[in-house]
Structure 1
Amino acid sequence: MDVNAQQDPYKNIRPYHDNEVEAVLQSLLYDDELIGAITHYQFPRLPRWISRWLKPVIRIALAREFGEIQTIKGFQLTVARYMSKMIARSTTKLSCSGMENLEADEAYLFISNHRDIAMDPAFVNWVRHQNGMDTVRIAIGDNLLRKPYVSDLMRLNKSFIVNRSAKAPREVMAAVTQLSSYINFSIQEEESSIWIAQREGRAKDGNDFTDPALLKMLYISQRKKGSFSEVIKRLNVVPVSISYEFDPCDRAKARELAAKESSGQYEKSQYEDIESIVKGITGQKGAVHVHFGDVITGDFDTPESLAAELDRQIHLNYHLHASNYIAAGQLDNVTAEQIASFETRLAGLSEAEQAKLKQMYANPVVNCRKDQQESA
């Protein structure tokens, strides 16, 4: 076996360490694709030949930005400055609740509903940072990391890689076991909290349900160390509900869902995931709320029973906005202005697409009411 792999068995998936930061930042400065992407983002309407002349200027500006950064925390503090501006521009309000359930010096496994590729974990990190708590390590699929510079930037921001590209059964099992081992190691040995979505991919239809396969993954590397219930208790699992008054990607999601329903398939464009990330970051979100549920301490002997408890908390603690009530046809406490604002999101969509958009906003209301009735 490779000696380096024995000493650092998670090197190919884990976030970067402080002693790696300087070298990674230096390599990013000389990544022409990254410099080109930043140049295009800053000056989208300039002809390509002029953009080429601007690249050295962008590289100098980036070197100045990177110059003082020597640690992961330093990198994240730089990101936080941009995050603060983004929140001011793209949200009307950011609130959180349930923070009293958390201890500052404890490591948790935050299992969250999933609306936005980048912003869900970013908002969790932001509210923890604002409350003086450490940021979390973020699970991100390798399907989003096709560009090396994207992978580097995400790993500098405490992301770790979920290998979804493995196909052969043996490779899949090795990847799942390594991921399982890393999550347990991070929480129990390194005392670093983790954020992971409750299932692969965003819940584009607004239906937030946990995939039991995710919970089986958490146990697979720990089978010799106790029962499923015992292993889960050691992970300090906390359900997280994230709700957006408006989803910047809602119209794109509605078109995709309608296309799948009518033709049975939907073909993503090459850069659609990246476009969704950019739109999710820059688009208008209205009010955003993050709720941290109760730490799961009960005995859950199966992934299915644990998934049901996660779903119950996520549904009941989901902050319902006017947009949710309007889509669900519950108009008692909403204003004419709020109704008009919601209806602008339907403009230009087909009847089938409009139905899908309404459904994605209505489903959190439906799920909350159902769980309220079952809990009564």
Structure 2
Amino acid sequence: MQDAFADIRPYNDDEVPAVIERLMRSGDLAGALLKYRFPRIPAWLRPLLSPLLWAFMKQRLKSIHTVETFQHLIADWVEAILEKSSAGIEVRGLDKLEPGKSYLWISNHRDIAMDPTMINFSLHHAGWPTSRIAIGDNLLRHPDVSDIMRLNKSFVVKRTVANKREKLRELQRLSAYIRESLDDGHSIWIAQREGRAKDGIDETDTAVIKMLALNGRDRDEAFTDTMRAMRPVPVSIQYEWDPCDLLKARELTHREQHGRYEKADDEDTRSILLGLTGFKGRIFVDFGEPLSDAELESPDAVAAAIDRQLTEMTEILPVHEAALSLLNQSVPDTLQPAAKLLQSRMAGAEPGVQDRLLRTYAAPLLQRKK
């Protein structure tokens, strides 16, 4: 029987040994791991140390025969990263949901790699099965990255398809895959919009909701029936400090001033590494409530319901208040520590970039005032 989703779905257990063998032959992966693990080692010394590190990694990889064993290896690595890069993680709301059910987690999107990582980290620690993860093909250009992500339950969203008719076919296939996964008991994570909310404003794109509902057409289902079967649940992911804040502020300021922004070839990779390893302060992961039938009547109603829950779950932190105080040029004594940290992060940046960064951190308060 032909596998209709073979090129987009995560790898199955029977495919894992061949993928691991492929990764163990990769010179690019060895170099990248060495550069990540020992960033301060001079470039000329890395080729000498590469065989030692790679021998150690091969020993670890040899024990991986299933997706679950690979995810256990990833979990240990994520635990170590979060230990160094965060000041604690608070997970809320899972106790109000049913562990035996599959859910469509729809979250805000601030970080390329950390957002789905935090979803699965939270589920894993609560004893829940991890989710399948939607990831754009623009982030999977390198075959090693594609292999690692698909080993880690990622499935491919084909964003780079140019032809409109082909793009619609791919969206229909994606929607069908998501529905089939949910029906088979696998939860799904997808962001509320394409691309990160670099301005700090979390708004659900109705195009995402319409894509999710495409599978209902072949079943002659009403929109509400399709969405009810997919069980969407909003999830809020919040980082006290954004390691990529200055990069995002510079990009947005450049767009405002010049109308466009061209990414460097390795920019997404640098953002991923900085988001993973940079200090994030406190992290909050809030699982919301399943949407009611009234909230599933239309794409607009679904988007509004998700946005409402995300707003309600957002924790207002001193950094948000300090950013707004700096914009208003009046900082009370209680917010001076957070304000000084913000000022140190912006030191040397152009005034426009500084203003953009402050508006991003103040966004939760500014949006509530609206």
| Smaller-chain TM-score bracket | over 0.9
> What amino acid maps onto 1:139 in structure 2?
A
2:24 matches 1:52: no
Match of 1:361 in 2: 361
2:313 matches 1:309: no
2:223 matches 1:222: no
Match of 1:280 in 2: 275
Report the alpha carbon displacement of residue 33 of structure 1 after superposing the two structures with TM: 1.3
Structure 2: distance between partners of 1:180 and 1:280: 29
TM-score normalised according to structure 2 size: 0.94
Match of 1:348 in 2: 348
Report the alpha carbon displacement of residue 85 of structure 1 after superposing the two structures with TM: 1.0
> What amino acid maps onto 1:223 in structure 2?
R
Match of 2:204 in 1: 210
Q: Secondary structure at the match of 1:161?
A: strand
> What amino acid maps onto 1:145 in structure 2?
L
Report the alpha carbon displacement of residue 97 of structure 1 after superposing the two structures with TM: 1.2
Report the alpha carbon displacement of residue 333 of structure 1 after superposing the two structures with TM: 9.1
**1:170-199 CA distances to partner (integer Å, 9 max, x unpaired)?**
2101110111001100001x2100110000
For residues 102 and 333 of structure 1, do their structure 2 counterparts lie closer, same or farther at Cα, with a shift above 3 Å needed? farther
Q: Secondary structure at the match of 1:7?
A: coil
2:284 to 285, 289, 298: 289
For residues 238 and 52 of structure 1, do their structure 2 counterparts lie closer, same or farther at Cα, with a shift above 3 Å needed? same
Match of 2:167 in 1: 172
Report the alpha carbon displacement of residue 12 of structure 1 after superposing the two structures with TM: 0.4
Structure 2: distance between partners of 1:355 and 1:50: 42
Structure 2: distance between partners of 1:29 and 1:120: 27
Larger deviation: 291-300 or 148-157?
291-300
Structure 2: distance between partners of 1:339 and 1:40: 34
Structure 1: distance between partners of 2:349 and 2:42: 33
Q: How many residues align?
A: 364
2:293 matches 1:298: yes
> What amino acid maps onto 2:215 in structure 1?
S
Structure 1: distance between partners of 2:332 and 2:125: 35
- CA RMSD between the two structures: 1.6
Match of 2:189 in 1: 195
Contact 1:254 1:353 in 2 (8 A): yes
Work out the percentage of aligned pairs sharing the same amino acid.
Answer: 41
1:1-376 alignment to 2 at 5 Å?
Answer: 7-46=2-41, 48=43, 50-188=45-183, 190-225=184-219, 226-299=221-294, 300-329=296-325, 334-370=334-370
Structure 1: distance between partners of 2:42 and 2:362: 44
TM-score normalised according to structure 1 size: 0.93
Contact 2:322 2:336 in 1 (8 A): no
Larger deviation: 42-51 or 268-277?
42-51
Contact 1:242 1:290 in 2 (8 A): yes
> What amino acid maps onto 1:350 in structure 2?
E
Mark the runs of 5 or more structure 1 residues left unpaired by the alignment.
1-5, 371-376
Report the alpha carbon displacement of residue 42 of structure 1 after superposing the two structures with TM: 3.2
> What amino acid maps onto 1:357 in structure 2?
L
Report the alpha carbon displacement of residue 56 of structure 1 after superposing the two structures with TM: 2.7
Structure 2: distance between partners of 1:191 and 1:222: 18
Report the alpha carbon displacement of residue 155 of structure 1 after superposing the two structures with TM: 0.6
Structure 1: distance between partners of 2:233 and 2:207: 17
Match of 1:374 in 2: none
Mark the runs of 5 or more structure 2 residues left unpaired by the alignment.
none
For residues 37 and 306 of structure 1, do their structure 2 counterparts lie closer, same or farther at Cα, with a shift above 3 Å needed? same
> What amino acid maps onto 1:325 in structure 2?
E
> What amino acid maps onto 2:135 in structure 1?
I
Q: Secondary structure at the match of 2:116?
A: helix
